[in-house]
Amino acid sequence: METTIQKTIVFGVFILIGFLLKRKFTSKAETQGLKKIILNLALPATIFIALMGVDVDPSLLTLPFLALLLNGLLFWIFPFVLPMVGFKKNTSEYRTLRLLLPSLAPGLSCFPFIAEILGPTYLAKAAMADLGNKIFVLIILYCVAVHWFMKVSSNTGEKQSGKLKSLITTLLSEPVTVLILLAIGLLSFGFSFQNLPSMIQDVLQKLSLLMTPLVMIFIGLSVKIRKDQFIKIVSILILRAGIVLLISAGIVGVMGITIREEILWLISFSLSACSFWPYAHIASISEKEKEELDDSKKTFHNGFAINVLAISFPLSTVMIMSIMLNPSMVGDPYRIILLAIGCIGIGVILTFWVRYQEIKDVAKRNTTIGPKQNIWITRQASKN
């Protein structure tokens, strides 16, 4: 357990290093350069190794479908939840959350805890379930992001002639897409990562090792969270945890799972942080849009996505750690439901608090502006 906590702290230290290095990165181009290294080198290598390392166990084939079910339910539920917590439909922040919230990052969130506490058998189950999550975040959410981009482009009056062809050509030429297609092709012919030449394996593994530290440092460099935005993001992430726990309770109840370890790995996997891979889609789409466009007019809100990731990771880690150290909290479906209601209650309270603060700010601005408007009206009346 100490090793797992140490790994979690190391991830947090990388984010802190990025935050402290902000003064050294004086221009936006420098931060963008780091992002390009992640998207064009580290991320493609990591995805390729992950896909090529898939070992399909026929006895565990239901697990990827369970993960896909969880992803799909979250994607379907949040269009109803987001407007209730202050995110208007068809805005860049709304679309950003819809892409991020259904995604899971078990590799950074729950895998270390499952490996340390539950052992390799349950880690294998979690890895098998992650296969369904990978299909969702890499393929389905990618198609959704492109669809939304085309829809927003048509709404803003941009010419569609040749735009789709140009976009597809650009996206297909990106390293992430090329390596995903290459991995699928090799897998279809029965190749695995171990069948590749040792030199290629070594290069890809070393590039993949850059992924986690660079992503964490990039998050630390890019994060800019206001107090009101912080509470708003925390509220939606806690609501997400509550909804996830309700879904997990349903799965435990319907499947009749009673073994403590089975329940623990399922809950831990479900509470994983939002994945960085949907952010890769967001970043890719954002680069296709005009630089002069305001973030609110773009398909996605790049900065807001980074803030969500920055808060999601530590919050998810704390939740998973708390449950792993206190397994009685999720011993049966009824306790899971009670925990879910508690999370939803906290999320709702935080949401009401944010809205109350927003109303106070509006009232304060109206009080400040009111007398000036009265003076202006008086002057106009005297002129007339």
pTM for this entry? 0.76
pLDDT band at 156; cut points 50, 70, 90:
low
Mean pLDDT calculated for residue range 200-214: 85
Sign of CA dihedral 142, 221, 32, 178: negative
pLDDT for the residue numbered 266? 92
pLDDT for the residue numbered 169? 65
pLDDT for the residue numbered 166? 60
pLDDT for the residue numbered 381? 41
* Structure token pair of residue 210: 């850059």
pLDDT for the residue numbered 109? 78
Cα R_g (the chain), whole angstroms: 23
- Give CA separation, 26 vs 37, 106, 267, in Å: 18, 33, 42
pLDDT for the residue numbered 207? 86
- How far out from the chain centre does Cα 3 lie? 25
Does 206 score more than 60 pLDDT?
yes
The 10s digit of each residue's pLDDT in 96-133 is: 999 999 999 887 778 777 877 788 788 778 878 888 88
Q: What percent of the chain has pLDDT over 70?
A: 83
pLDDT for the residue numbered 378? 45
Mean pLDDT calculated for residue range 130-143: 86
- Do the beta carbons of residue 282 and residue 305 sit within 8 Å? yes
Does 55 score more than 80 pLDDT?
no
pLDDT for the residue numbered 382? 44
CA–CA dist 92, 152 (Å, integer):
10
Q: CB atoms < 10 A from the CB of 210, how many?
A: 16
The 10s digit of each residue's pLDDT in 181-195 is: 788 788 778 888 888
Tell me which residue of 144, 133, 79 sits closest to 103, measured CA to CA. 133
Does 59 score more than 70 pLDDT?
no
CA–CA dist 311, 302 (Å, integer):
15
Q: Does residue 288 or residue 372 have the better pLDDT?
A: 288
- Do the beta carbons of residue 117 and residue 7 sit within 8 Å? no
| Mean model confidence pLDDT for the chain | 80
The 10s digit of each residue's pLDDT in 8-34 is: 677 778 878 888 888 888 777 777 788
Tokens 């964490």 correspond to what residue?
216
Torsion of Cα atoms, 286 then 292 then 298 then 301, to 10°: 70
The domains found in the chain, sorted by start residue, are 2-364 (1.20.1530)
The 10s digit of each residue's pLDDT in 222-276 is: 777 777 788 889 999 999 999 999 999 999 888 888 888 899 999 999 999 898 8
CA–CA dist 287, 283 (Å, integer):
6
pLDDT band at 173; cut points 50, 70, 90:
low
pLDDT for the residue numbered 377? 42
pLDDT band at 155; cut points 50, 70, 90:
low
Does 369 score more than 60 pLDDT?
no
Q: CB atoms < 10 A from the CB of 320, how many?
A: 26
pLDDT for the residue numbered 71? 94
Q: Amino acid identity, residue 74? A: L
79-87 LR contacts (CB < 8 Å, sep 24+): 81/236, 81/239, 81/243, 82/236, 84/351, 85/232, 85/235, 85/236, 85/239, 85/347, 85/351, 86/232, 86/351, 86/354, 86/355, 86/358, 87/236
* Structure token pair of residue 285: 């789409």
Nearest 5°: the CA angle 35, 36, 42 is 85
pLDDT for the residue numbered 19? 82
Q: Is 140 exposed, middle or buried (0-12, 13-18, 19+ CB in 10 A)?
A: middle
pLDDT for the residue numbered 244? 94
Does 94 score more than 60 pLDDT?
yes
The 10s digit of each residue's pLDDT in 279-307 is: 888 887 887 776 546 666 788 988 899 88
Does 372 score more than 60 pLDDT?
no
Judged by average pLDDT, the poorest of 70-74, 167-171, 331-335 is 167-171
**Residues contacting residue 362 through CB under 8 Å, at least 6 positions apart:** none
